[in-house]
């Protein structure tokens, strides 16, 4: 028999990352597929633009871990080539073309940096708690400029960025809050470094604007947490306590058949992003919302 929560007992904190919160905002159904269904539904093929982004991020992180004397554009390019992720491209020629482009992006970017300006953190995990959530995430780079910390996020997408992208980013704001709390230094500036255009967009938050972002994160957490609890309550009644999730047969993982009241807690939020969804094959509404994209479709010409 399930125990009811005792009145007055503190609610369990919702453990999350900014990606999890944004997943809920973008599409509750995709959120369910990603975080709750077990075994997780089969994803579509890997995306080439994700391969480019991951390769660039990995190369930059590795570059900062090199000794000062080896932090050169040539070393950055070799790290990119060595760690190139060859997934999602149309063919070998397209992969080589983009490897060369990414090498130029990374080499050109690090040429603008001071290799002796040691960051406070590279791929640094930061975390913070409130009365509602326990949030953690990984910052691409955390700089110290004077007495303040600065959150730096690398971007490799083809769309040029604007100041509004930095200002409105929930992830950057909560990273700034978590960094400040962990390291006991003020952190208000967030920056997006867009490698394809060699540009930087920045935003200087106030304490009030950071608080608004954190309050927004808490509101999202409450919604997602309530849906999680409904799903877990249903799941507990369909699987004996302690039993492992059923194994997928033949590698074809499909979402479990959930009752209408559970499905209603995770409605699809259709739109242009449906064409790029990893779980499109499992979502009729998403299929109807837009045409399927090739894995390399997000790459610039």
E strand intervals along 146-294: 148-155, 187-194, 199-204
Tell me how crowded residue 269 is: count the other CB atoms within 10 A of its CB. 18
Gap between the Cα atoms of 260 and 62, Å rounded: 48
The CA-based diameter of the chain, rounded to the nearest angstrom, is 65
**Using alpha carbons only, what angle is made at residue 252 by residues 247 and 254, rounded to the nearest 5 degrees?**
80
What is the helix (H) or strand (E) element at residue 16, kind and residue range?
strand 14-16
**DSSP-derived 3-state class of residue 179:** helix
Q: At what angle do helices 170-183 and 207-238 cross, to 10 degrees?
A: 100
Are 282 and 33 in contact by the 8 Å Cβ rule? The answer is yes
The pTM of this model reads 0.91
Are 177 and 210 in contact by the 8 Å Cβ rule? The answer is yes
R_g of the chain computed on alpha carbons: 21
**DSSP-derived 3-state class of residue 239:** coil
Beta pairing partners, 203: 190
Gap between the Cα atoms of 192 and 50, Å rounded: 17
pLDDT in tens, the chain (301 residues): 344 445 555 678 999 999 999 999 999 999 999 999 988 999 999 999 999 999 999 999 999 999 999 999 999 999 999 999 999 999 999 999 999 999 999 999 999 999 999 999 999 999 999 999 999 999 999 999 999 999 999 999 999 999 999 999 999 999 999 999 999 999 999 999 999 999 999 999 999 999 999 999 999 999 999 999 999 999 988 765 555 555 554 455 788 889 999 999 999 999 999 999 999 999 999 999 999 999 999 998 7
Are 275 and 47 in contact by the 8 Å Cβ rule? The answer is no
Gap between the Cα atoms of 38 and 28, Å rounded: 16
Burial of 272 per CB tally in 10 Å (0-12, 13-18, 19+): exposed
- DSSP assignments along 113-144, one per residue: S-TTS--SEEEEEEEEE-SSEEEEEEEEEEEE
């Amino acid at each position: 028999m399930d125990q009811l929560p005792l009145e007055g007992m503190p609610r369990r904190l919702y453990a999350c990352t900014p990606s999890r919160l944004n997943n809920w905002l973008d599409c509750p159904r995709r959120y369910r597929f990603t975080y709750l269904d077990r075994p997780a539904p089969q994803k579509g093929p890997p995306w080439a633009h994700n391969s480019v982004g991951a390769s660039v991020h990995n190369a930059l992180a590795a570059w900062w871990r090199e000794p000062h004397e080896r932090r050169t554009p040539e070393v950055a390019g070799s790290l990119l080539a060595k760690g190139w992720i060859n997934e999602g491209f149309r063919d070998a020629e397209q992969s080589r073309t983009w490897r060369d482009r990414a090498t130029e992006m990374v080499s050109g970017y690090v040429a603008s940096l001071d290799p002796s300006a040691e960051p406070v953190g590279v791929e640094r995990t930061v975390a913070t708690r409130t009365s509602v959530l326990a949030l953690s995430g990984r910052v691409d780079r955390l700089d110290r400029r004077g007495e303040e910390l600065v959150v730096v996020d690398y971007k490799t997408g083809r769309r040029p960025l604007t100041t509004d992208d930095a200002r409105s980013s929930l992830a950057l704001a909560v990273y700034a809050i978590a960094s400040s709390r962990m390291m006991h230094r003020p952190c208000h500036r967030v920056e997006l470094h867009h490698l394809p255009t060699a540009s930087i967009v920045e935003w200087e938050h106030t304490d009030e604007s950071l608080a608004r972002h954190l309050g927004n994160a808490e509101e999202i957490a409450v919604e997602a947490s309530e849906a999680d609890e409904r799903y877990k309550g249903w799941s507990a009644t369909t699987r004996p306590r302690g039993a492992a999730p059923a194994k997928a047969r033949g590698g074809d993982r499909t979402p479990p058949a959930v009752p209408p009241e559970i499905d209603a807690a995770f409605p699809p939020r259709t739109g242009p992003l449906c064409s790029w969804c990893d779980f499109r094959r499992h979502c009729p509404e998403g299929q109807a919302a837009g045409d399927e994209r090739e894995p390399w479709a997000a790459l610039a010409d």
